[in-house]
Amino acid sequence: MAILAGMWFQQMHPVWQQALSGQEALLNRLEQSLSQLPNLAPRPQLVMAAFAADPSKVRVVIVGQDPYPTPGVAVGRSFAVSGLPVPASLRNMFKELASELAIEPTDVTTALDLHGWQAQGVLLLNRHLTTLEGQAGAHFKEGWQAFTDAAIAHLLAANPLTVLVLWGNQAQQLKKTLAQAISDAGERAMLIEGVHPSPLSAHRGFLGSKPFGTINAALQSVGQEPINWLL
């Protein structure tokens, strides 16, 4: 599906547009280069879905790697999907959540598109916003990291109490690229690192790490409401 030039920038919430105006040329270049690819994941109209909400409401940022490469699965929010079947990474997240809450995985009622998390101020952000169907990591060198790093830097500057969750090597590179922003946040910076929930690494430290309770504990430590992960 073709989209109009500059549409990705326009699809962002107005507050995001203002905050990332300096990245507009980069985003337009990425759109021009990638949006017409017939095998782009997610679909062009979903690429900026994570930026549709007001950034001033963001309390938690969960950073992933890049979209699911399976056709029709990615929805523009990290780890979220359009429907069944549930990819292994999200399945492991729900398994860990069920373990933390002492319930059965089948009792996790969270919508697969994770819109309930976004509505509570959780930004689900891949470091690279696109890939190609059947090719994980296809766009690591396209320049997305400069755009998403700028977005996270803005959030940390606007609210140093933002909980920043880095799962996997691609996300954890942010410690270096955003070292100044994290330093500026000072002791108020809340950084949570962990293993990626993918099937290749989940059993090496993600499962059993209790990330959801850790996030809520960080929020409550500064007087904020915890996230209801079952919404």
Q: Tens-digit pLDDT profile for the chain (231 aa)?
A: 445 568 999 999 999 999 999 999 999 999 999 999 999 999 999 999 999 999 999 999 999 999 999 999 999 999 999 998 899 999 999 999 999 999 998 899 999 999 999 999 999 999 999 999 999 999 999 999 999 999 999 999 999 899 999 998 888 998 888 888 878 776 666 899 999 999 999 999 999 999 999 999 999 999 999 999 999
Q: What is the pLDDT of residue 170?
A: 85
Q: For residue 54, indicate whether it is catalytic.
A: no
User: Which residues, including other chains, have CB under 8 Å from residue 15's CB and lie 6 or more apart?
Assistant: 54, 55, 56
- Residues 157, 18, 54, 87, CA torsion sign: negative
Q: How far is CA 205 from CA 81, 92, 122, 127, in A?
A: 23, 12, 22, 21
Q: What is the pTM of this model?
A: 0.94
Helix/strand/coil for 73: coil
Q: What is the pLDDT of residue 209?
A: 96
Catalytic residue among 66, 107, 113, 149: 66
Per the CB < 8 A criterion, the answer to whether 197 and 92 are in contact is yes
